[in-house]
Chains A and B, each alone.
Chain A
Amino acid sequence: MNKLQDKETKEKAKTIKILYRVELKEGESATEKCVGCSLCEMACSLYHHRECNPSLSGIKVIKKECEWINGSSSKIFQLKICTQCGFCIQFCPVDAIRIAVETGAVVIDDKKCSGCLKCIRACPFDALWYNKREDKIIMVKCDLCDGSSDGPKCTGWCPKGVLTLRKIK
């Protein structure tokens, strides 16, 4: 069973000079700056799916505001976004996951995807999701907005400058 990309893509991947991912500026402590506005979620889903819908956003703001009632307010918003590590690729039984040549983003081809959700179970960062529409599975993850020249939508929309696009290779 061929779990890896085809030869052509693998060759192309070797030529990628630059890899990106969207990160929290200043690491984990940046979540303290997040104000839970969800503008990143709205902007991401609008760009990719033409609707404002956090459940279709490749970045998630997990709200745990009530934790503040019982304890500290430092972790009431948790941001989750794909780190483009590519760990999920090997688990896809139908080779629907590939690396985009321009950005190095890990991208799921919806046409090939069979909706088995093995990638979601495999993801070490809980940064991969799905949404069900009329019995169709839509996979949801960060794709760095197809390398658009404005940069990823979420980093442009965050009012507190929590997110940054970082080159990692």
Chain B
Amino acid sequence: MPEVYGWTGKRLRVDLKNKKITIEPLVTRFRKKWLGGRGFNMKVLWDEIKPGIDPLGEDNVLCFGVGPLAGTLASTSGRFNVSAKSPLTGLIGDSNCGGHFGAALKGAGYDQIIITGRSEEPVYLLIKNGRVEIRDARPFWGKNVYKATVSLKEDIGAQSMVVCIGTAGENLVRFANIMAEGCNAAGRTGMGAVMGSKNLKAIAVKGTRGVKIAEPEKFEKLAKHRFDELRSEAFYKAFSMYGTTVLNNSEWSSSLSQCKNFQSWNLPGIDKLSGHNTLRYVSRLKSCTACPLSCHRLYNILTGSYAGDRAAGPEFETVAHLGYLTMNTDLEVVLKSNTLCNDLGLDTMSAGHVLANAMEWYQRGIITHKDAGGVKLEWGNGEAQIQMIQKIAKREGLGDVLAEGAYNAGRIIGDEALRYVGHVKGMCHLDLRQGYAFALSRMTSTRGSDHLRGDPSMISNPEACKKILGDSKIAYPVTIYGKEKMVVWQENINVLADCLPRCKNDGIQYYFPISKRVFKDIVEILSAATGVDWTTKELNLIAERIYTLEQAFCVREGINREHYKLSWRFAQEPIPDGLFKGSIVSQKELDELLDRYLNQRGWNIKSTVPTRDKLSELDLVEVADELDKLLPRSSWNGPPLDKKFIG
């Protein structure tokens, strides 16, 4: 077999029901078509998941994917994607995660793991190069992330990299996450619940096979160039010290201060949650594999009510969701909440959303403190937040409903509750009334409202828009002008980042300037690693292909144009105070912008279904055939809920 560079050319297929393990080759044509990581995963999701299945049932397929640059010297390449049908939304579940697991999986000799079926008993997967075993996880089941990670390593050796779920995943909390080494999270869309539903506690990997590089000298030179570039950026020092909490510092916080479930943008005491204050708890900086940025932090709480608490983080989004959104300005409560989420295995963002919604429901008398088991879900009540997080993980009392996620909890409680949930397609993120660029990217995200699918970093930056899109006017946030171009560009580069892999903090989104050469840079380093001659045109096509396939998956699950509507608050109420007071986006303008976006993507304007022409252009004719065969299907309304919540 000819030498494969970058990729390993192999993937693992694990059938948990029949305890069968097979190794499948990934041929050149496949690798060139789907690139890696998220691309490999999406192809499997389309091919192997039948529409309408229960994401918590045994027919869901869980994939871990890495790209050709994983496990190499390329800057920030130590990441992986985990994907399945999402228990939270019933649509694309996909989460990107840092740490060392991605490089370890690649080093063991695999580009992807596909996990099907469900084990009768709790198990974990052990991978040591060619030795792959499904092992008894009963001694670890019931343990949270910290204890499970430590005990697993005592069993299999400290140098194996472990990803595992906590009790939240075991209890099928719909936004349960997967934790790598107890520090890095595959946070969003509930992939931890999918693992829990399969009785899969953990995956442990150790690899010594390495990653072959086609042109080592050239590759090293290109990698070093990016490394030096990053380290000489003006922002490097701050970012490698504060990590993402740099956005919680006062220079930034007023442009990100949405709180009280979006009822306000004015949070008194917000500076108590600054990155500066958080730094006082940090004991160590850490990096993911091959990253010079060291944006990750370990903290310790030494004194006070939560003395002894320790965890990795917090990230800006955690502070925003478990601090700003719930009006909690006690930093130690936010840290404690983060520790709980990391140990129980819960997405901090979705946890913050459901708590903020619960607090608004409580504020409006839609739920009472009796419903909440005596917990007073008042704004800024830190103890209530901490107690409720634990109840959610245990599915206890009101926690059982909140464990369904904000959108589904709203469905269960009733329309009066659902109206306050600020979501798109069942997932929540932050406010989108500031302007049309974010409103669009949250609408068009293929995993529901989210920032990592396509929040455009060029917004309000006329220079960047001129350099990259050729038109500086696109930068102005309050018009719809050119926003479809901006969001499509961002969505495409984000797809590539999740395929290579490359961290979005590395000049893809936010923090560091996005070079207009970024596509070209990727072509060069990818070619030197894989020995394949890539072109920017090809890479762009791959990005379009993957994003369009994700849309096809969503459409197959019942998504149509009616789901691209602003939720109640975002449609009705201008931002009442703060930096963006008075700001609102209109559904009418947004509809016009969506038409332009859908045209640019080559998807049908009325139905959002990718057109046959576009699918042919992307070499996805079989997808067009399948979409044509779709019976009139019921419109998406979230994932199927447990019988106990219906009727």
Contact residues of A with B, CB < 8 Å?
Answer: 32, 35-39, 42-43, 45-47, 49-56, 62-66, 68-70, 72-74, 76, 131, 156-157, 159-160
CB distance from B382 to the nearest CB of A (A): 24
- The stretch of B185-193, B290-298, B370-378, B451-459 in contact with A is B290-298
Docked pose: A144 CA to B507 CA in angstroms: 33
B290 engages A69 (CB within 8 Å): no
Chain B residues near A73 (CB, 8 Å)?
283-284, 298, 300, 310
B294 engages A35 (CB within 8 Å): yes
CB distance from B291 to the nearest CB of A (A): 5
Q: Is B212 an interface residue (CB 8 A)?
A: yes
B310 engages A51 (CB within 8 Å): no
Interface size on B, residues (CB 8 A): 43
- The stretch of B110-118, B213-221, B492-500, B579-587 in contact with A is B213-221
CB distance from B185 to the nearest CB of A (A): 14
Q: Which of A32, A56, A66 has the most CB of B within 10 A?
A: A66
In the complex, 7 of the A-B residue pairs with CB atoms within 8 angstroms, ordered by the A residue number, are A35-B294, A37-B287, A52-B210, A63-B159, A70-B150, A159-B293, A160-B294
Q: Is B227 an interface residue (CB 8 A)?
A: yes
Contact check: which of B224, B286, B310 meets A35 at CB < 8 Å? B286
A52 engages B288 (CB within 8 Å): no
CB distance from A32 to the nearest CB of B (A): 7
Docked pose: A136 CA to B220 CA in angstroms: 27
Q: Determine the residue in chain B with the shortest Cβ distance to A45.
A: B210
Docked pose: A159 CA to B216 CA in angstroms: 20
B210 engages A37 (CB within 8 Å): no
Q: Is B72 an interface residue (CB 8 A)?
A: yes
Chain B residues near A39 (CB, 8 Å)?
73, 227, 290, 292
Given contacts A38-B103, A51-B210, A157-B227, contact A65 B182 (CB under 8 A): yes
Contact residues of B with A, CB < 8 Å?
Answer: 71-73, 78, 100, 103, 107, 146, 149-150, 153, 158-159, 181-183, 208-213, 216, 219-220, 224, 227, 231, 283-294, 298, 300, 310
Docked pose: A35 CA to B286 CA in angstroms: 4
Q: Determine the residue in chain A with the shortest Cβ distance to B75.
A: A39
Docked pose: A95 CA to B287 CA in angstroms: 41
CB distance from B208 to the nearest CB of A (A): 4
Chain A residues near B72 (CB, 8 Å)?
42, 46, 52
B150 engages A43 (CB within 8 Å): no
Docked pose: A35 CA to B284 CA in angstroms: 8
Q: Which of B285, B286, B293 has the most CB of A within 10 A?
A: B286
B210 engages A55 (CB within 8 Å): yes
CB distance from A11 to the nearest CB of B (A): 35
Contact check: which of B153, B182, B210, B294 meets A53 at CB < 8 Å? B210
Docked pose: A63 CA to B287 CA in angstroms: 12
Chain A residues near B100 (CB, 8 Å)?
36, 38, 63
Docked pose: A131 CA to B207 CA in angstroms: 12
A36 engages B149 (CB within 8 Å): no
Docked pose: A76 CA to B292 CA in angstroms: 18
Docked pose: A74 CA to B285 CA in angstroms: 10
Docked pose: A56 CA to B107 CA in angstroms: 11
CB distance from B35 to the nearest CB of A (A): 18
CB distance from A146 to the nearest CB of B (A): 14
Contact check: which of B153, B219, B286 meets A66 at CB < 8 Å? B153
B227 engages A159 (CB within 8 Å): yes
Q: 20 more A-B contacts (CB under 8 A) besides A39-B227, A156-B224, A159-B293?
A: A35-B285, A36-B100, A37-B287, A37-B288, A38-B289, A42-B73, A43-B220, A46-B216, A47-B216, A50-B213, A51-B210, A51-B212, A62-B159, A66-B181, A68-B283, A68-B284, A69-B150, A73-B300, A131-B208, A157-B73
Given contacts A39-B73, A73-B283, contact A68 B310 (CB under 8 A): yes
Given contacts A42-B72, A46-B220, A54-B107, contact A66 B182 (CB under 8 A): yes
Given contacts A46-B220, A62-B159, A65-B182, contact A52 B285 (CB under 8 A): no
Chain B residues near A52 (CB, 8 Å)?
71-73, 210-211, 213
Docked pose: A51 CA to B5 CA in angstroms: 9
Docked pose: A45 CA to B207 CA in angstroms: 14
Chain B residues near A66 (CB, 8 Å)?
149-150, 153, 158, 181-182
Docked pose: A51 CA to B215 CA in angstroms: 10
Docked pose: A43 CA to B73 CA in angstroms: 7
Chain B residues near A74 (CB, 8 Å)?
283-284
CB distance from A46 to the nearest CB of B (A): 6
B158 engages A36 (CB within 8 Å): no
Q: Pick the 3 closest A-B CB pairs, nearest first.
A: A53-B210, A159-B292, A55-B208
A37 engages B150 (CB within 8 Å): no
